[in-house]
Chain A
């Protein structure tokens, strides 16, 4: 039987870019993300015996990383540390003017993704970008498949609205209305 630790260890390094991308989208700071990735790798190797051979390694890793992140958020909350709003503004625009401007102009897709609520962004990333099945995503996020679907649908409608895909919709709708 192949040693599970070896199975995990063999895949870990190649998976770093994906793991890092997921981490950055969770915590919105590259510095924090890198620490998180490192901690997740340590945790994965330490609990490699719990990895089911044949199951999806990526889903397993995402789950470990996300659980670590949730723990960290909890600890920050109990320690009274506020969510860092600066980071969020880094990705969108902080001044009042820019906010107004953002309402008038269409956002890029990455801005729109950054603007999503955390719970929508993570499910979007897992399903649309990392191409996990709804069921795998549900397991990573510890939520029912139905919740994956409702969040995912909302995430996509929001992106569509923010980036102007919806204006295409509206055009169609108008035409339909007149016809």
Chain B
């Protein structure tokens, strides 16, 4: 507490009044009185300066914390809950592909096991298609996508868009990063008549590799049956898939591949 020594002229304004003046919280009338006294009162000037300086100093001292990048995990988690809150109901098209939240809550192991069993049944078929007829190197292992046309589509088609390929109608659903920060894309490939495959491919050592595939029965335009989408969701949760990238982030990520 500053003490006002006897002999030094006491000002009529309390510290709190001076502080309120500095903070813009003092009524006009009192502000005018205070300003009038500033010209002659050194003590008032000092106190005013102190309150003004501490305000500025505090702002400057803590500004660097605003520039600290928000940890990716926190950012992704909040983005996911925001996306979920704004949730696009099934069938309604979202601005960028599938904005459905991919919360990376630790996936239940049994769900992943069940999903994996389901995936295994389908991956062989899908991989066969994408590898251009070649046998996948090894069952559930990550399969490289040798189909040039598909690899090009993965690297260029924005989520939400479609492109007709020789092997079928390609539809980019969303882009995200896995727990290793590898760029991944969820996409669908409609082959011939009744077969649609929903897949996830990620960039690994500069090449697109198939990580997951599940059959979506029928040519049903809007809606994947629960079992397929559950398997996909379980898979995404299992790899700690981050929230879908925004259109701009996706573009930057895809451009970065070239």
Q: Which residues of A contact B (CB under 8 A)?
A: 5-6, 8-10, 12-13, 16-18, 20-21, 24-25, 34, 37-38, 41-42, 45, 48, 108-110, 113, 124-125, 127-129, 133-134, 149-150, 152-153, 155-157, 159-160, 163, 165-166, 169, 172-173, 176-177
- Segment from B50-58, B122-130, B152-160 that makes contact with A: B50-58
Contacts of B74 in A (CB 8 A): 16, 20, 34, 37-38
Least CB distance from B99 to A in Å reads 12
Closest to A134 in B: B25
B101 to chain A, nearest CB (A): 11
Q: Give complex CA distance A12, B5 in Å.
A: 51
A70 CB → nearest B CB, Å:
21
Interface digits, B41-65 against A, CB 8 Å rule (1 contact, 0 not)?
0110010001101110111111001
What residues of chain B lie closer than 8 Å to A24, measured between beta carbons?
65
Which residues 28-49 of B have a CB within 8 angstroms of A?
42-43, 46
* Residues of chain B from 148 to 199 with CB closer than 8 A to chain A in the complex: none
**9 nearest A-B pairs in the assembled complex, by CB-CB distance:** A156-B54, A109-B61, A110-B61, A21-B65, A128-B55, A128-B58, A9-B82, A109-B57, A9-B85
Residues B58 and A5 in contact, CB atoms below 8 Å apart: no
Would you list 16 pairs from A and B whose C-beta atoms are within 8 A, ordered by A residue?
A8-B85, A9-B86, A18-B66, A20-B65, A20-B68, A21-B65, A24-B65, A37-B78, A41-B78, A108-B61, A128-B54, A129-B58, A134-B25, A156-B55, A165-B53, A176-B43
Question: In the complex, which residues of chain B have a beta carbon less than 8 angstroms from the beta carbon of A41?
Answer: 78, 81-82
Q: Which residues of B contact A34 (CB under 8 A)?
A: 71, 73-74
- Roughly how many angstroms separate A8 CA and B54 CA in the complex, as a whole number? 32
Bound: A21/B58 CA distance, A? 13
Minimal Cβ-Cβ distance residue in A for B59: A129
A134 CA / B25 CA spacing, docked (Å): 8
B62 closest partner in A (C-beta): A129
Interface SS of B by simple majority: helix
Question: How far apart are the CA atoms of A163 and B57 in the complex, in Å?
Answer: 10
- Which residue of chain A has the shortest Cβ distance to B15 in the bound complex? A153
Q: Which residues of chain B (65-107) have a CB below 8 Å from chain A?
A: 65-68, 70-71, 73-75, 77-79, 81-82, 85-86
Contacts of B67 on A, CB cut-off 8 Å?
17
Q: B54 contacts A160, CB within 8 Å?
A: yes
Contacts of B5 in A (CB 8 A): 173, 177
Say whether A125 contacts B19, CB under 8 Å.
no
The answer to whether A160 touches B86 (Cβ under 8 A) is no
CA A152 to CA B50, docked complex, whole Å: 13
Q: Which residues of A contact B42 (CB under 8 A)?
A: 172, 176
Chain B residues near A155 (CB, 8 Å)? 54
CA distance A42 to B81 in the complex (A): 7
